[in-house]
């Protein structure tokens, strides 16, 4: 296969689904970890085509969605300062904090800019030495190498006016936290192909062995996901619990070692709070002590900000996979992509946004 359309072939999709129907003899619950996978599953209706008893749970795989409310409030507080040029990817601008969002700061005259690479922020800092330039470093392992390179470039250039507000999270500890939860129903996982392209998948092998759950590294196109589900169900039916790689065209077991070296150089593993989930030990990245000078939280003294979620938002339950967006009383009414109460309705990878974009309504989709 060379072209994108071949990964959307309806004839082959039907064949894979038929094979899945013949294979499945028991009910199985599978979680896809990546928000991009969630959008494909919901937009293409894959979850509605699966055999009866095969249930998909949409996990905490949207990096924007799991960025804690307190971190958004810190971003808003920093961006509102007159000496600051605050830079971010566009999907973070409308994520609601407790008192507003970055779009609101920009509307009030704050210097908030969308960039397409953290190196753009480094260039802005270099061109404007009179400004304090901050980059909002959000994401899973996928974006960590580029953010690490931005810090390394700033250090090499001696830029004292560049900092990063770090909110990186790691996938394997989140999977472990889900499996340790007393209400866990997940029996297999689709791992995010782009994360594994960076980190490889050796970190998942001890999880599969310890918890006896299959984990299949999976891509993002419809055929990728149907095949990943098929591979997961085959393991479950055969009593196996291994890490398999459906996304072999992009992922190797060892991953991208140069990217991993950059992450290890700039960051250190730390506990991290996940929005709506709480703190998970060793589930995030923070700047290593030798790069503490580039820590925006410390420079602008916002470490102690604490906040609470909107009472009508059930984002935490949705991110844990215990409830659906259509279980939320605010879904499609008080909470829409134009008026979001929580991050899953804002992000291009958010489960609530995926359901809303696919036209799924509370009146027609049953609760869990």
Query: Among residues 110, 119, 125, 204, which one has the least CA distance to residue 160?
Result: 125
For the chain, how big is the Rg over CA atoms in Å?
A: 21
pTM of the model: 0.89
| Per-residue pLDDT, 13 | 96
- Only one residue has tokens 């260039």, namely 123
pLDDT at 346 over 90: no
| DSSP-based three-state secondary structure for 227 | helix
Give the other-Cβ count within 10 Å of 114's Cβ.
14
Rounded CA-CA distance 63/170 in Å is 10
Task: Residue count of the chain, please give it.
Answer: 368
CA dist., res. 314 & res. 54, Å (int): 24
C-alpha 307/C-alpha 224 separation (Å) is 39
Q: What is the pLDDT of residues 201-252, one digit of tens each?
A: 999 999 999 999 999 999 999 999 999 999 999 999 999 999 999 999 999 9
| Backbone region of residue 361 per phi and psi (left: phi > 0; alpha: psi in -120 to 50; beta: other values) | beta
Domain ranges in the chain are 1-356
In this structure, are residues 138 and 64 in contact, taking their beta carbons and an 8 Å threshold? yes
Does the domain spanning 1-356 belong to CATH 3.40.630.10?
A: no
- Alpha carbon distances (Å) from 216 to 186, 246, 332: 14, 6, 33
Of 88-102, 104-118, 119-133, 302-316, the range with the lowest mean pLDDT is 302-316
Helix (H) or strand (E) holding 47: helix 46-49
- Specify the DSSP element, H or E, that contains 268: strand 267-274
How far apart (Å, rounded) are the C-alpha atoms in residues 198 and 143? 9
At residue 367, the 3 state secondary structure works out as: coil
Site of tokens 């330039």: 133
Q: Which residues partner with 266 through β-bridges?
A: none
Query: Which range has the worst mean pLDDT, 280-294, 303-317, 347-361?
Result: 303-317
What does the mean pLDDT of the chain come to? Answer: 92
Report the DSSP beta bridge partners of residue 57: 31
Could you tell me where the beta strands, DSSP code E, fall in 75-161? 84-88, 111-114, 132-139
Q: Residue 129 has which token pair?
A: 């030495």
């Amino acid at each position: 296969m060379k072209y994108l359309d071949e990964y959307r072939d309806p004839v082959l999709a039907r064949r894979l689904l038929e094979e899945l129907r013949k294979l499945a003899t028991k009910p199985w619950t599978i979680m896809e970890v990546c928000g991009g996978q969630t959008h494909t599953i919901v937009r293409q209706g894959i979850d509605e085509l699966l055999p009866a008893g095969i249930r998909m749970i949409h996990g905490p795989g949207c990096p924007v969605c799991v960025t804690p409310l307190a971190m958004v409030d810190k971003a808003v507080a920093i961006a509102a300062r007159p000496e600051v040029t605050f830079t971010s990817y566009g999907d973070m601008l409308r994520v609601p904090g407790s008192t507003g969002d970055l779009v609101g700061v920009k509307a009030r005259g704050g210097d908030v800019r969308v960039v397409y690479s953290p190196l753009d922020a480094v260039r802005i800092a270099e061109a404007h030495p009179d400004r304090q330039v901050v980059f909002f470093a959000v994401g899973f392992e996928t974006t960590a190498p580029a953010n690490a390179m931005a810090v390394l470039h700033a250090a090499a250039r001696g830029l004292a006016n560049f900092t990063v507000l770090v909110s990186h999270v790691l996938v394997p500890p989140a999977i472990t936290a889900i499996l340790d939860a007393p209400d866990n129903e997940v029996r297999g996982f689709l791992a995010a192909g782009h994360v594994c392209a960076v980190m490889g998948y050796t970190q998942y092998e001890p999880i599969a062995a310890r918890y006896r759950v299959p984990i299949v590294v999976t891509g993002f196109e419809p055929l990728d996901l149907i095949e990943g589900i098929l591979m997961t169900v085959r393991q479950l039916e055969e009593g196996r619990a291994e890490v398999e790689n459906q996304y072999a065209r992009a992922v190797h077991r060892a991953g991208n070692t140069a990217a991993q070296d950059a992450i290890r150089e700039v960051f250190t593993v730390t506990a991290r709070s996940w929005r709506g989930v709480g703190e998970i030990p060793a589930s995030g990245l923070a700047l290593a002590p030798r790069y503490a000078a580039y820590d925006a939280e410390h420079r602008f003294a916002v470490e102690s900000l604490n906040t609470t979620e909107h009472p009508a938002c059930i984002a935490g339950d949705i991110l844990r996979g215990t409830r659906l967006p259509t279980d939320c009383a605010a879904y499609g009414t008080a909470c829409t992509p134009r008026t979001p109460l929580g991050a899953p309705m804002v992000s291009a990878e958010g489960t609530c946004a995926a359901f809303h974009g696919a036209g799924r309504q509370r009146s027609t989709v049953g609760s869990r």
